[in-house]
Amino acid sequence: MKPEDGRSRTYVPLAIALGVVLLGFALRFTVFAPDPLEVRVQAVERGLVEATVSNSKAGTVEARRRSRIAAEIGGRVVAIAHREGAHVKAGETLIRLANASHLAQLELARHGVAVADSRLEDACLLRDRSRRELMRVEKLAENNVASEDRLDALQYGFDSARVACAAAKAERSRALAQRRAAEVELAKTVIAAPFDGVVAEVNVEIGEWVTPSPPLLTSPPVIDLIDPTSIFVSAPMDEVDSGSVRAGLPVKLTVDSRPGKVFAGTVSRVAPYVVDEEAQNRTLEIEVSIDDAEVAVSLLPGTSADAEVVLENRENVLRIPSSALLGERGVLVLVDGELVEREITLGLRNWKYAEVQAGLELGELVVSALDRVEIEAGVRAIQMKEDKRGWR
pLDDT digits (tens, 9 = 90+) for 151-180: 788 888 888 989 999 999 999 999 999 999
Q: Are residues 213 and 349 in the same domain?
A: no
pLDDT at 243 (0 to 100)? 86
Q: Are residues 360 and 266 in the same domain?
A: yes
Q: Are residues 234 and 382 in the same domain?
A: yes
Q: Are residues 71 and 106 in the same domain?
A: no
Q: Are residues 48 and 156 in the same domain?
A: no
CATH number of the domain bearing residue 204 = 2.40.50
Percent of the residues in the chain that have a pLDDT greater than 70, as a whole number: 87
Q: Are residues 74 and 221 in the same domain?
A: yes
pLDDT at 349 (0 to 100)? 87
Q: Are residues 350 and 311 in the same domain?
A: yes
Residue bearing the bigger pLDDT, 18 or 56: 56
Q: Give domain status of residue 331, yes or no.
A: yes
> Which is it for strands 381-383 and 37-39: parallel, antiparallel or unpaired?
parallel
Q: Give domain status of residue 31, yes or no.
A: no
Domain hosting residue 168, numbered range: 100-187
What are the pLDDT digits (tens) for 305-321? Answer: 999 999 999 999 999 99
- Check: CB of residue 377 under 8 Å from CB of residue 337: no
pLDDT at 4 (0 to 100)? 52
Q: Give domain status of residue 15, yes or no.
A: no
List beta partners, residue 333: 340, 366
What are the pLDDT digits (tens) for 20-59? Answer: 666 555 555 554 556 788 889 999 999 999 888 888 888 9
Please state the rounded mean pLDDT for residues 347-352: 87
Q: Are residues 162 and 269 in the same domain?
A: no
The total domain count for the chain is 3
Whole-model pTM: value is 0.64
Q: Give domain status of residue 192, yes or no.
A: no
Q: Are residues 241 and 370 in the same domain?
A: yes
Nearest to 268 by CA among 309, 304, 305: 309
Q: Are residues 322 and 238 in the same domain?
A: yes
Q: Give domain status of residue 278, yes or no.
A: yes
What are the pLDDT digits (tens) for 115-154? Answer: 999 999 999 999 998 888 888 887 777 777 677 777 788 8
Q: Are residues 182 and 79 in the same domain?
A: no
Q: Are residues 146 and 281 in the same domain?
A: no
Q: Give domain status of residue 25, yes or no.
A: no
CA dihedral 95, 100, 105, 108 (to 10 degrees): 140
CATH number of the domain bearing residue 289 = 2.40.30.170
Q: Give domain status of residue 363, yes or no.
A: yes
- Check: CB of residue 38 under 8 Å from CB of residue 381: yes
Q: Give domain status of residue 13, yes or no.
A: no
